[in-house]
Amino acid sequence: MNSDRWQQVKEVLDAALKRSPEERVRFLDEACQNDDELRGEVETFLSSFGDAGSFLEKPAVGEVAEVIVNQEDKLTGGQSLGRYKILKQIGKGGMGEVYLSEDTRLRRQVALKVLPENIASDKERLLRFEREAYSASALNHPNILTIFEFGTENEVHFIATEYVEGETLREAINAGEMSLTDAVNIAEQTAFALSAAHAASIIHRDIKPENIMIRRDGIVKILDFGLAKLLQEKTENIDTEAATRAQVKTQVGMILGTVAYMSPEQARGKETDARTDIWSLGVLLYEMLSGKQPFSGETASDTIASTLTSEPVPLDEHNAPAELQRIVKKTLQKSAGERYQTAKDLLVDLRQLKKRLEIDAEIERTESPNEGKANTQLINATTTDKTPHAVSSAEYITSEIKQHKRGFAIGLIILLLATIGVGSWFYVNRDSSNYPNAAPIESIAVMPFVNASGNSDMEYLSDGMTESLITSLSQLPKLNVKARSSVFHYKGKEIKPNKVGQELSVQAILTGRVVQRGEQLTLSLELVDTKTENVLWSEQYNRKQTDLVSLQNEIVRDVSNKLRTKLSGSDEQRLTKNYTENTEAYQLYLKGRYQLNKRTEEDFKRGIEFFKQAIEQDPNYALAYAGLAEAYNQMGLWTTLPPSESFPKAKAAAERALQLDDTLAEAHTALAFTKFQYEWDFTGAERESQRAISLNPSYAAARELHGYQMYLANPHRFDEAIRELKTAQEIDPLSLSVGFNVILP
């Protein structure tokens, strides 16, 4: 959704929120009139917010529900609640009031979280409160608030927890700019706690500065698992009463959490998992480093819009190391599939960064300001004292150690730094240069790049770059690259590397995220091992849009290196071949492919126009002629354009492409299709399809056509045809067309 569209949606949304639910229907009829898309977008926000009026006018603490304000204290100092003596109230929240109390039996201070009467009378809220106690009490971790007891006294429901003396992270941030070391330390401890919670199948869903306490000794504590959600029931804990017990479930569309720290999926009211906590921790880390939230706005709806559509300002000006910026950026990927997949992975990166910062600090501490002066005095004393004196071997060794103590210490630190640095470098990069003996990756799926520009008009670019990369990589020897039609089955879906690996039978997947702002283009890539789900390599490219052609070649070269594929000179030349130097022609070609892949008559026509415009920009653009040939072939097969008109045009375009470049598998395949489908020249068709396969053995379209030709032209070649079709199916396992042809004979 672009900014103009969002402003239109916001105006209608804000006006709708000022009206009662009964008035909104009539208002939307008048405000949206015949714009069904506008109405749909507004109604989506309204349904996501639930009671949107109160949600947008009040801070979202806890559930999207009543926030407890201006309520008289239930308990006062000196009162008792069972064995707990109330000392004073120390806070209020959406799910209860908190009192500093004394446990008179164990003689220790505790925090009592008490459920107010207006919530205790609500059975569902009471169940949620109980769930907080039971889920959080199962977490025994130094960075998670300890739960002592859940109880009821005189119809007052409460949770007794450890009392933490210190300050909230909000107070620490408001106090002024936080040091880099402190920010990383707090993030590391928080990630440690979340890793333990997630391992216990519990997510927090409301990670924010107010829920992070920093003790006076620097220990971090996560508070309030009031929004915690059991990720899955433990199958071994069979409950015989489960059939009769009321279940508390979060309805789809209900937003839980605090707006500025919500993940995109949480803000949309969709299902959440552990990765929503990772997003929230990324927001915290960004705020600790910069003093500002990465996503904000004048109203809650503006903040949500920023979360869904905007990219945060880079942290360059805050002296954040490049590695830390990479970590923050990865936590704030709008697609959950592109973030850290587990808090443990994030924890590993934070701990390695913390070690590097500690070593840097240690080196600085060894540089004493008086050290230079002391060394000068030592030299002077040595040169002026000419009186010889005898020393024992022990005295000599002791003297040498004293004189070289500083050098030895620095040398040891440098050695340690080198060891950790090299280890970290190996861990982060993990490519062929790190593991020269590692087996190369032999199968890969390039997943549909995500268009993160917030502009649907740029969808052609993300799709086109994906398809171009597939085409280029498929020419690598001994590399099984899955075809476009199979990988685009996952477009718009959450990418789970392990599942994709199993469904497509690949060792690795490559994911990408494209952001286009004006003339600036940013592409973020990640190569992921589908078995371990470890990130093998990641990179971000920032280029001007005019550099799009060279960028595509650079990406192909980098990815092939990370796949640990050894290339000959001819392989690399073929891999990075430029079909045009004209950026505008290349973009028009990508637009043509984008329309062609929609497979409707109108889109075929649009695609043909784009291919023709690309050819006008570069008359020697062979790939554009090949695209034009494919489009005319499809028109002749599936649309109202007469075959007598479409197929000759397809043949002419294919032949022109081959005049310009005889190594184009796409053009040979298009010509084979025309000869087979229209001219019934089976011999010529087979010759062209065989040529296409020899040029690109991973081109599924050529193999499918070749197998189909063999069977129809000569039924005695049945076995050969089946082998060819099954090879096509291995390359394109999710293609309905290939699957149909495999079973057709």
pLDDT of residue 471: 85
pLDDT of residue 573: 66
Closest by Cα among 246, 201, 247, 195 to 228: 201
> Which amino acid appears at position 427 of this protein?
Y
pLDDT, mean of residues 49-64: 33
pLDDT of residue 22: 65
pLDDT, mean of residues 57-84: 51
What would you report as the CA-atom Rg of the chain, rounded to the nearest whole angstrom? 32
pLDDT, mean of residues 177-184: 88
Tell me how far apart the alpha carbons of residues 288 and 324 are, in angstroms, rounded to a whole number. 12
The pLDDT-based confidence of 606 (bands split at 50, 70, 90) is very high
The pLDDT-based confidence of 150 (bands split at 50, 70, 90) is confident
Residue 491, classified by CB atoms within 10 Å of its CB into exposed (0-12), middle (13-18) or buried (19+), is middle
- What are the two backbone dihedrals, phi and then psi, of residue 256, each rounded to the nearest 5 degrees? -115, 140
The pLDDT-based confidence of 18 (bands split at 50, 70, 90) is confident
- What are the two backbone dihedrals, phi and then psi, of residue 394, each rounded to the nearest 5 degrees? -65, -45
pLDDT of residue 133: 65
C-beta of residue 482 within 8 angstroms of C-beta of residue 504: yes
The pLDDT-based confidence of 395 (bands split at 50, 70, 90) is very low
With H, G, I as helix, E, B as strand and everything else as coil, classify residue 529: strand
pLDDT of residue 522: 86
pLDDT of residue 419: 47
Mind listing the pLDDT tens digit for each residue in 568-605? Answer: 666 666 666 778 888 899 999 999 999 988 888 889 99
Most confident of 325-339, 350-364, 685-699: 325-339
The enclosing H or E element of 187 equals helix 180-199
The enclosing H or E element of 649 equals helix 643-660
pLDDT of residue 710: 62
Alpha-carbon dihedral sign for residues 248, 253, 258, 262: positive
pLDDT, mean of residues 97-105: 88
CATH 1.25.40.10 holds for 583-743: yes
Q: Is 316 a catalytic residue?
A: no
Q: What percent of the chain has pLDDT over 90?
A: 20
C-beta of residue 193 within 8 angstroms of C-beta of residue 130: no
pLDDT of residue 565: 60
Tell me how far apart the alpha carbons of residues 541 and 436 are, in angstroms, rounded to a whole number. 26
Does position 186 have pLDDT exceeding 90, yes or no?
yes
Closest by Cα among 136, 165, 166, 164 to 149: 136
C-beta of residue 633 within 8 angstroms of C-beta of residue 674: yes
The pLDDT-based confidence of 148 (bands split at 50, 70, 90) is confident
pLDDT, mean of residues 279-288: 94
The pLDDT-based confidence of 372 (bands split at 50, 70, 90) is very low
The pLDDT-based confidence of 533 (bands split at 50, 70, 90) is confident
Look over the chain and give the mean of its residue pLDDT values, rounded to a whole number.
Answer: 75
Whether pTM > 0.75 for this model: the answer is no
Tell me how far apart the alpha carbons of residues 406 and 367 are, in angstroms, rounded to a whole number. 9
**Which two structure tokens, joined as six digits, stand for 716?**
């005695």
pLDDT, mean of residues 711-740: 70
The pLDDT-based confidence of 190 (bands split at 50, 70, 90) is very high
pLDDT of residue 437: 45
pLDDT, mean of residues 231-242: 38
Tell me how far apart the alpha carbons of residues 636 and 628 are, in angstroms, rounded to a whole number. 12
The pLDDT-based confidence of 650 (bands split at 50, 70, 90) is very high
Task: Select from 3.40.50.620, 3.10.20.70, 3.40.50.10610, 3.20.20.140 the CATH code of 443-575.
Answer: 3.40.50.10610
Beta strands in 535-584 (DSSP E): 535-544
Mind listing the pLDDT tens digit for each residue in 454-496? Answer: 778 888 888 988 988 888 888 777 788 888 888 888 888 888 9
- What are the two backbone dihedrals, phi and then psi, of residue 152, each rounded to the nearest 5 degrees? -135, 130
Closest by Cα among 209, 340, 206 to 278: 340
pLDDT, mean of residues 224-249: 41
pLDDT of residue 657: 93
CATH 1.10.620.20 holds for 165-230+253-366: no
* Marked catalytic residue, from 103, 206, 273, 463: 206
Distances, alpha carbon 196 to alpha carbons 201, 209, 339, 367, in Å: 9, 19, 18, 39
Among 132-136, 198-202, 207-211, 539-543, name the one with the lowest average pLDDT: 132-136
How many distinct helices (H) and strands (E) make up the chain? 30, 17
Decide the pairing of beta strands 202-203 and 108-114: unpaired
pLDDT, mean of residues 685-694: 88
pLDDT of residue 364: 65
Beta bridge partners of 160: 112, 149
Nearby residues of 163 by Cβ (< 8 Å), 6 or more positions away: 100, 109, 110, 111
pLDDT of residue 63: 32
Does position 535 have pLDDT exceeding 80, yes or no?
yes
**Which two structure tokens, joined as six digits, stand for 87?**
């000392």
Does position 92 have pLDDT exceeding 80, yes or no?
no
Domain assignments of the chain as residue spans, ordered by start = 3-49, 165-230+253-366, 443-575, 583-743
